[in-house]
């Protein structure tokens, strides 16, 4: 499992602040522990469990309540007022709503499940597993409220129309809660009910101590909890290295509290030092530097030397990558603003419009043309290595000013505007757009704003966040090319 610490991707386990903060993987769970007894457990099924010491009683707020032993005032808003509406309570505590991709999928009657469907989903081969007499969770029912988890399972199954993965997530959530409470549960998965897939050289166990038998656990075993959790356990003779099961001689290194696999490297915050994990747990550090065309930065969890220019690409399978490395699929037939300088008054302003079509009966993707607009000049280029200026076809190469030109290089047509913009469109329809670093944070369009942050690349023209890439494309449709309303 991977986590981000201060924005940088780390492989578990991780130990920080001289051991005061520890994050480990135990079974299918990530567990954060502090020296003041805060513990946060999270797993892929969506379960989050927060445990805090008694000293925080009546001193906390948020979705988990105020911990004052009074259940009637748990729906307290950030303003201090109380509400009886769950939706209002949840919405009030939402962080960064403008960056959220979440949508409301339930407007009313969210917790209702008609009796017929409830009886179906409540059978012992479904949600009924949770409350089944002599079932796999029998020992847990009096310790972790089985009725609440059973009810939640029914509601979720009704909302999801009985999707099997929802059932598995519900059962896994209860299993994890039981094991976190120290309860020994019985095997509940079968080849037909929520089978658990494990990597090579490992196998599933309902109760395993994966933390201690990891490569990093050799030196950080004191970070592990005493509980066992279900998950994948390495076969005899193998140890978990944060990604896969390896023999002990292939275990990596622990450096500054973080685990590194053999052959992996980490850069210092200024990129002036690179440290690599060698065989035998030895970390070798050496001087490092970025070239004149690069800069040291942390992007999308990876610290590295990045090219100062921004690049947005679109391949022949309709796969797009924005300036800030967000990936998405482009509709086969559409006309949209690919990239532009947001400030229309700048001398460096330009706008690129892409036209995509499906030109054969097989329904393949084709980038038909790119229309480029500058202050006083309009240009269209195609994969056929042809160009039009102000609607008139021109022979190539065409030098339109001291900085603006359209040329053919190898099997690509290249449009350049000084050092500000380079558009490369090859005969197969692959597209690359390069913009100068001076335009960082100044771009608009589907290619993103080029601010070195992937988190806001789904912004629509109105400044709000799209829910997905398709909606992003729709929001940037070129209205001057369409008669129909959006």
CA 140, distance to chain mean position in Å, is: 34
Mean pLDDT, the chain, rounded, equals 89
Taking the C-alpha atoms of residue 352 and residue 453, their distance in angstroms, rounded to an integer, is 22
pLDDT for 361-378, tens place per residue? Answer: 566 788 999 999 999 999
* Percent of all residues in the chain with a pLDDT value above 70, rounded to a whole number: 94
pLDDT for 17-56, tens place per residue? Answer: 888 999 988 888 999 999 999 999 998 777 899 999 999 9
Q: What is the per-residue pLDDT for 16? A: 87
* Percent of all residues in the chain with a pLDDT value above 90, rounded to a whole number: 66
> In this model, does residue 360 exceed pLDDT 80?
no
pTM: 0.70
> In this model, does residue 130 exceed pLDDT 60?
yes
DSSP per residue, 5-72 = ETTEEEEEEEEEGGGTEEEEEETTEEEEEETTS-EEEEETTS-EEEE--GGGTT---STT---SS-GG
pLDDT band (50, 70, 90) for residue 241 = confident
pLDDT band (50, 70, 90) for residue 98 = very low
432 or 217: which carries more pLDDT confidence? 432
Q: From residue 436, how far is each of 134, 176, 298, 310 by CA, in Å?
A: 67, 50, 19, 6
Comparing 122-136, 204-218, 267-281, 427-441, which segment has the lowest mean pLDDT?
A: 204-218
pLDDT for 312-329, tens place per residue? Answer: 999 998 999 999 999 999
Q: What is the per-residue pLDDT for 210? A: 82
> In this model, does residue 486 exceed pLDDT 50?
no
Q: What is the per-residue pLDDT for 301? A: 87
- Long-range CB pairs of 289-297 (<8 Å, 24+ gap) are 295/437, 296/267, 296/270, 296/271, 297/452
Helices (H) and strands (E) in the chain, counts: 6, 32
> In this model, does residue 182 exceed pLDDT 60?
yes
pLDDT for 153-176, tens place per residue? Answer: 999 999 888 999 999 999 999 999
User: Which two three-digit tokens encode residue 182?
Assistant: 């120290």
């Amino acid at each position: 499992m991977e986590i981000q610490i201060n924005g940088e991707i780390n492989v578990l386990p991780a130990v920080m602040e001289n051991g005061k903060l520890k994050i480990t993987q135990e079974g299918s769970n990530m567990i954060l522990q502090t020296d003041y007894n805060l513990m946060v457990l999270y797993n892929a099924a969506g379960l989050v469990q927060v445990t805090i010491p008694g000293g925080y009683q009546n001193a906390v707020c948020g979705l988990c309540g105020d911990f004052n032993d009074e259940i009637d005032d748990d729906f307290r808003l950030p303003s201090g007022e109380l509400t009886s509406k769950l939706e209002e309570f949840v919405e009030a505590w939402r962080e960064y709503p403008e960056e959220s991709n979440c949508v409301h999928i339930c407007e009313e009657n969210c917790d209702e499940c008609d009796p017929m469907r409830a009886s179906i989903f409540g059978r012992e081969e479904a949600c009924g597993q949770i409350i089944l007499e002599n079932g796999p969770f029998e020992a847990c029912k009096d310790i972790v409220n089985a009725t609440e988890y059973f009810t939640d399972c029914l509601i979720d199954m009704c909302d999801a129309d009985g999707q099997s993965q929802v059932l598995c997530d519900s059962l896994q959530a209860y299993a994890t809660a039981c094991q976190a409470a120290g309860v020994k549960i019985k095997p509940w998965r079968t080849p037909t009910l929520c089978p658990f897939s494990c990597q090579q050289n490992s196998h599933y166990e309902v109760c395993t101590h994966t933390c201690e038998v990891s490569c990093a656990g050799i030196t950080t075993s004191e970070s592990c909890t005493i509980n066992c959790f279900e998950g994948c356990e390495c076969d005899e003779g193998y140890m978990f290295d944060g990604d896969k099961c390896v023999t002990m001689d292939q275990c990596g290194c622990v450096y500054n509290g973080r685990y590194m696999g053999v052959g992996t490297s980490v850069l210092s915050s200024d990129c002036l030092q690179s440290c690599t994990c060698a065989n035998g747990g030895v970390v070798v550090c050496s001087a490092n530097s970025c070239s004149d065309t690069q800069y040291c930065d942390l992007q999308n969890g990876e610290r590295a030397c990045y090219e100062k220019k921004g690049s947005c690409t679109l391949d022949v399978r309709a796969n797009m990558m924005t300036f800030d490395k967000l990936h998405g699929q482009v509709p086969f037939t559409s006309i949209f603003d690919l990239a532009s300088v947001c400030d229309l008054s700048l001398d460096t302003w330009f706008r690129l419009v892409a036209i995509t079509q499906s030109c054969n009966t097989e329904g393949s993707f084709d980038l038909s043309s790119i229309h480029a607009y500058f202050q006083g000049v309009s240009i269209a280029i195609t994969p056929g290595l042809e160009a039009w200026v102000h609607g008139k076809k021109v022979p190539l190469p065409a030098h339109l000013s001291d900085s603006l030109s359209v040329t053919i290089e190898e099997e690509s047509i290249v449009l350049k505007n000084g050092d500000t913009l380079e558009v490369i469109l090859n005969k197969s329809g692959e597209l690359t757009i390069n913009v100068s670093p001076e335009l960082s944070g100044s771009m608009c369009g589907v290619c993103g704003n080029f601010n070195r942050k992937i988190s806001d690349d789904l912004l629509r023209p109105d400044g709000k966040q799209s829910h997905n890439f398709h909606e992003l494309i729709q929001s940037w449709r070129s209205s001057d090319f369409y008669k129909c309303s959006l």
